Amino acid sequence: MASIFAPETHIGLGARFLAPLRHLGALGFALFWMLAASGIYLYIRFDTSIAGAYDSIGELEWWFGGVLRSLHRYAADAFVAVVALHLVRELLAGRFRGFRTFSWISGVPLVWLMYASGIVGYWLVWDTRAQFSAQASAEWMLALGIGAEPMARNFLGLGQISDRLFSLFVFLHIGLPLALLAGMWVHVQRLGRPATVAPRALAWGMLGMLLALAFLRPVASEARWDPALLPQMLQIDWFLLFIHPLMYATSAAQLWLLTGGATAALVALPLLARRPAAPAARVDAGNCSGCGRCVADCPYEAVTLAGNQALVYADRCASCGICAGACPSSTPFRSTPELVSGIDLPDSTVHDLRRDLQAVLAGRPPGVVFRCEHAPHAAGEAGIALRCLAALPPSFVEYALRKGARSVRAVGCAEGGCAWRLGLELSAERFSGEREPHLRPNVRAVKHANEYAFTLR
Ligand code: HEM
Ligand code: SF4
Ligand code: SF4
């Protein structure tokens, strides 16, 4: 359906800068698929035996197999950087507690799986860097002292490395990324409409950058793995292999303490930094028809349908009010003195919204502004702040226009800044008529950045 909005003419500089950060998780998925595609090709060309592995990688022609090999490695580095930025962004934004606990805690094992996949990948090259990494990993495992001894002895030159052990590495380099993919799927299960597909420009831009890097700085193997040698002077991949120099600068036990402690701290953070939660949305059986719009719009999968009634999982609820904005019973045109919606926030009801709007309209202002509470507020404006712009049922716009406001505006937060993930998207779809509940055709909407201006036709 064609959009009725005027083209976007203005986006602030800060919003432009922050927008790509919103896509870090999706970019992580894009990088995973790049790794999978280049990895499948490399696997086809790879000889999975100790005698042949090193040469089969060296024989890749520079202009195709070599480029894909370099792409595979650079994509792995970019994956680490993007996931680290994603983690830091969510941390700095305080998005790790309450209803986000599941997303946060399910992200933590992904870091381990990501590193394990990358490190084992290095071993397959069977050069002295692989030797260094495998031996350092073996020493680290030995320090833990559980179950790793036979493998560690092999690496440390105390036993024969067999083709079977090498096959185990290959198996791990396929199995660990598959476990990572399963973990990524679990990670987004508590999010409505999770953004797992990066915007095209961003994904192609990233692929182009990595390909350019692969052409300009092709990666190379070190000398062949030699059990008689102690590898020295290696080029370390600081994104993936930094833990080995870190272990030699400290000790295996200290590295366990550091990594184990950091993992425990990340897992404990949502519990340690707990805050009192706002009251969860409540369903009113008498006003719920079971239409499912609240289920479709909830950004945190906190509502489900039980029979033909909505049901809220209170511990998952963000108290954003988006469900109330979606419910067909949330219309101010209803004549009941007490406006009860099918689903509503106990501390900020649709009835309160109608009462506040009526109070504003009683002052006969030239225009009314509905504003997300995170959006900037112009002094002297007759405005109503909402927890999220998508908590505004569109029928309130027509109500304000019919009850005397000459113009109505709705102002959302900055692009990429929606505290409830989907507020801007859902508002845009509702106001453009692509999604229920939408504006009636007699209301004209013009979009300008994250603002909407409405008038009666
Ligand atoms: C392989 C690594 C990872 C991938 C591919 C990934 C991907 C994603 C994606 C696609 C989303 C949904 C974004 C949206 O639709 O709003 C998301 C959300 C989230 N991720 Fe990750 N993630 C990864 C690792 C992590 C890690 C390590 C953490 C932190 C420990 C983390 C914490 C979160 C949180 C808290 C959210 C929810 C944000 C919100 O509620 O607004 N993620 N992730
Ligand atoms: S307030 Fe409604 S839309 Fe928001 S998280 Fe809770 S149930 Fe979902
Ligand atoms: S949107 Fe309203 S009527 Fe529809 S299922 Fe949800 S609470 Fe019930």
288 or 145: whose pLDDT is higher?
288
Together in a domain, 142 and 200: yes
Q: What is the DSSP string of 77-143?
A: HHHHHHHHHHHHHHHHTTTTSGGGHHHHHHHHHHHHHHHHHHHHHHHTT-BHHHHHHHHHHHHHHHH
Cβ(20)–Cβ(198) below 8 Å: no
Query: Model confidence over 422-441: pLDDT tens digits?
Result: 999 999 999 999 999 999 99
User: CB of 339 closer than 6 A to ligand 2?
Assistant: no
Q: How many domains would you assign to the chain?
A: 2
Cβ(323)–Cβ(387) below 8 Å: no
Together in a domain, 243 and 290: no
pLDDT value, residue 210: 98
212 Cβ partners below 8 Å, 6+ apart?
Answer: none
Give residue 297's domain range.
Answer: 282-456
Together in a domain, 257 and 368: no
* Domain-terminating residue out of 243, 272, 301: 272
Q: Is the peptide bond before 337 cis (omega within 30 degrees of 0)?
A: no
Q: Is residue 9 part of a domain?
A: no
Average predicted confidence (pLDDT) for the chain: 91
Query: Model confidence over 327-374: pLDDT tens digits?
Result: 999 999 999 999 999 999 999 999 999 999 999 999 998 899 999 998
Together in a domain, 316 and 376: yes
| Top mutation candidate among 89, 102, 103 for ligand 1, by most atoms within 8 Å of CB | 103
Q: What is the DSSP string of 262-324?
A: HHHHHHHHHHHT--PPPPPPEE-GGG-----HHHHH-TTS-EEEETTEEEE-GGG-----HHH
Together in a domain, 196 and 293: no
Q: Is residue 155 part of a domain?
A: yes
Q: Is residue 416 part of a domain?
A: yes
Query: Model confidence over 77-96: pLDDT tens digits?
Result: 999 999 999 999 999 989 99
Q: Is residue 197 part of a domain?
A: yes
Together in a domain, 30 and 77: yes
Together in a domain, 125 and 144: yes
Together in a domain, 125 and 185: yes
Which residue from 43, 197, 172 is spatially nearest to 116, judged by alpha carbons?
172
pLDDT value, residue 147: 55
Together in a domain, 47 and 187: yes
* Domain-terminating residue out of 272, 296, 315: 272
Q: Is residue 13 part of a domain?
A: no
Using CB atoms within 10 A of its CB, is residue 41 exposed (0-12), middle (13-18) or buried (19+)? middle
> What's at 64, amino acid-wise?
F
Together in a domain, 258 and 211: yes
Rg of the chain, C-alpha, whole Å: 28
Neighbours of 301 (CB within 10 A): 18
Query: Model confidence over 106-151: pLDDT tens digits?
Result: 999 999 999 999 999 999 999 999 999 999 999 999 998 765 666 6
Report the CATH number at residue 216: 1.20.810.10
Q: Is residue 76 part of a domain?
A: yes
Q: Is residue 249 part of a domain?
A: yes
Query: Model confidence over 369-409: pLDDT tens digits?
Result: 999 998 877 666 668 999 999 999 999 999 999 999 999 99
Q: Is residue 56 part of a domain?
A: yes
pLDDT value, residue 376: 75
Q: What residues are in contact with ligand 1 under a 6 Å CB criterion?
A: 25-26, 28-29, 83, 86-87, 90, 95-96, 100, 103-104, 107-108, 110-111, 114, 184, 187-188, 191, 194-196, 266, 421
Q: Kindly identify the ligand whose nearest atom is closest to the C-alpha of 101.
A: 1
Query: Model confidence over 211-250: pLDDT tens digits?
Result: 999 999 999 999 998 878 776 778 899 999 999 999 999 9
Q: How far is the CA of 121 from the centre of ligand 1 (A)?
A: 24
Together in a domain, 242 and 304: no
pTM to 2 decimal places: 0.93
182 or 160: whose pLDDT is higher?
182
pLDDT value, residue 166: 87
pLDDT value, residue 156: 61
Together in a domain, 150 and 295: no
Q: How far is the CA of 319 from the centre of ligand 2 (A)?
A: 5
* Domain-terminating residue out of 227, 247, 272: 272
pLDDT value, residue 1: 31
Q: Which of 16-25, 271-280, 293-302 has the lowest mean pLDDT?
A: 16-25
pLDDT value, residue 67: 98
Please report the atom of ligand 3 found closest to the CA of residue 343: 7
Q: Is pLDDT of 12 > 60?
A: no
Distances (CA, A) of 326 to 31, 301, 308, 355, 408: 35, 14, 16, 19, 19
